[in-house]
Amino acid sequence: MENSTTSTSEQITNDLLPRAFGKRGMIWTGALLVIALFGAFAYYRQLRYGLKVTNMGDYVSWGIYISNFVFFVAISLVGSLITAVFRLADVHWSTPLTRIAEIIAVSAIVFASLIIIVDMGRPERFVNLFMHGRIQSPILWDVVVISTYFVISLLLLYMPLLPDLKIMIGRNTGGSKRFQKSYRFLGSFWKGLALQEKLNNKGITILCITIIPVAFSIHTVTSWLFATTYRPGWDSTNFGAYFISGAFLVGAGGVVVAMYVFRKVYQLEKYITEIHFDKMGKIVVMLALLYLYFNINEYLVPAFKMKKPEEAHLTELFAGEFAPLFWFAIFVGMLIPIAILLFKKGRRPLPMFVAGIMVVVGAWFKRYLIVTPTLLHPFLPMYNVPEDFHHYYPSWEEWAIAIGSLAGALLVITFFARIFPIIPIHETITEQHETAE
């Protein structure tokens, strides 16, 4: 029995250890690097020539940078859903997904912070937020809450990783000696002592409790950046809940995509099973229905009243310039995934992957629709302004930076998965033992 347990543990360890990139991995990483570098070049141009390289102006002062920021903040919420909520609810089936969720959260929150600095135009002025910040301003609340969430997410990624670091020391992870140095630096002190286990488990539980209100705050405060501004489309008391429900949906969609890719690339079918897809599918469909409910509230109520300033904004969304994008976001981001995932066959890995992609892509455009059309419909009519002030099409620099930041976030996840196990080894072994007993 002892021997079989050891061999099972060894098998799990070998299965879950990080591996060197294959040909596909190299192409993927190379492509992401090229996109990210091109984004960096576009940002260099923005630094050199100023924000005039963008197509933002007097009216649309928040373009795709802020849409991207809201998207990153939204997807980062998944860390708290999969890790904290499930852990506190004693849900064990989600164990293989926790690290995927946490690294998505960390990389997303890093790029959310970076994209805000990009949007500022003068990055050296970022320090002014702290030097001359007004505690009355939701912008300062956002800065504080994002920093806090980043630190908590990092801790929640690191603490459960400690036992795995010990496992990886001295083992072949297909990398250079630098990998081993990192493992030793980060986790050589882990001996699996009772005191260490106790402190670590207690720490993780405290983190799980803390991260939920912080995660709710981060997205609520982000929604308040809009809702505290008196504008058509943003003047809503519903915005906090609307943003959080959307964030849970895109986060869950992101996890579905990532679990499919990692399962396929690392041959993790034994660990990320069809049951995981089925359960995640049910969660996604529930979250999509919830987000759809908030969307109906958000658009139906003002459309029913059709107050004059809201009218132009809503008409543009429903039947005007933004209508194709709006209905794309509603159908592709919510309705079609719901239709796919409501059926058991739809909750199999490949349809789930397709639905996950749809949710994520739809969510990105949904953020764009929250930000831009409102800015193009101010309360005061736009008279005597140049024609291009009435429209907003991001410049190539804006697209390059936005896509580059998305590639950057994927690169962080890719490198993490290359260096560290993407499924917790120690926890999987422990659960295996508990099941065997």
Partner 1 sequence: MKLLNKHLYCLLGILLIAAGALPAQEEKPTLLMDIMYHAENNQVPYVHIFAKSKIEKKFLPAAGVAIKIYLGEEAAPNLLGTVTTDKFGQATVSFPIAVKPYWDTASQFKLLATSVADKKYASASNEAFFTKARITLDTLWADGVRSVVATVVAKQGNEWKPVKEVETKMIIKRMAGNLSVGDKETYATDSIGQATAEFMKTGMPGDKEGNIILVAKTEDNELYGSISVEKKVSWGVSIAPGNTFNKRTLFATGGKSPLWLLFLAGIIALSVWSVIIYLIFSIIKIRKAGLQ
User: Which residues are at the interface with partner 1 (CB under 8 A)?
Assistant: 132-136, 141, 144, 148, 151-152, 155, 158-159, 162, 188-191, 193, 195-196, 199-200, 202-203, 206-207, 210, 214
Residue 412 and residue 198: Cα distance in Å, rounded?
31
Smallest distance from the beta carbon of 302 to partner 1, in angstroms? 26
CB nearer to partner 1: pick between 200 and 297: 200
Query: Do residues 156 and 207 make contact, with C-beta atoms less than 8 angstroms apart?
Result: yes
Smallest distance from the beta carbon of 424 to partner 1, in angstroms? 17
Residue 78 and residue 100: Cα distance in Å, rounded?
10
Query: Do residues 156 and 100 make contact, with C-beta atoms less than 8 angstroms apart?
Result: no
CB nearer to partner 1: pick between 221 and 247: 221
Smallest distance from the beta carbon of 185 to partner 1, in angstroms? 11
CB nearer to partner 1: pick between 203 and 320: 203
Q: Taking Cα atoms as reference points, which of 273, 271, 277 lies closest to residue 422?
A: 271
Neighbours of 145 (CB within 10 A): 21
Q: What is the three-class DSSP state of 25?
A: helix
Q: What does each C-alpha distance from 260 to 86, 278, 424 come to in angstroms?
A: 20, 12, 17
- CA end-to-end span of the chain, whole Å? 10
Smallest distance from the beta carbon of 389 to partner 1, in angstroms? 25
CB nearer to partner 1: pick between 203 and 378: 203
Smallest distance from the beta carbon of 188 to partner 1, in angstroms? 8
CB nearer to partner 1: pick between 158 and 331: 158
Smallest distance from the beta carbon of 358 to partner 1, in angstroms? 35
Smallest distance from the beta carbon of 153 to partner 1, in angstroms? 11
Contacts of 254 (CB under 8 A, 6+ apart): 75, 78, 104, 356, 360
Q: Taking Cα atoms as reference points, which of 141, 158, 258 lies closest to residue 203?
A: 158
Q: What is the DSSP letter of 233?
A: T
CB nearer to partner 1: pick between 118 and 244: 244
Q: What does each C-alpha distance from 157 to 101, 162, 187, 198, 298 come to in angstroms?
A: 9, 9, 13, 17, 35
Smallest distance from the beta carbon of 435 to partner 1, in angstroms? 27
Smallest distance from the beta carbon of 133 to partner 1, in angstroms? 6
Q: What is the DSSP letter of 135?
A: T
Q: What is the three-class DSSP state of 317?
A: helix
Smallest distance from the beta carbon of 83 to partner 1, in angstroms? 15
CB nearer to partner 1: pick between 121 and 133: 133
- 160 burial (CB, 10 Å; 0-12 / 13-18 / 19+) is buried
CB nearer to partner 1: pick between 5 and 210: 210
Residue 82 and residue 105: Cα distance in Å, rounded?
10
Helix (H) or strand (E) holding 204: helix 194-227
Map tokens 């699996």 to a residue.
192
Residue 212 and residue 151: Cα distance in Å, rounded?
14
CB nearer to partner 1: pick between 135 and 380: 135
CB nearer to partner 1: pick between 80 and 405: 80
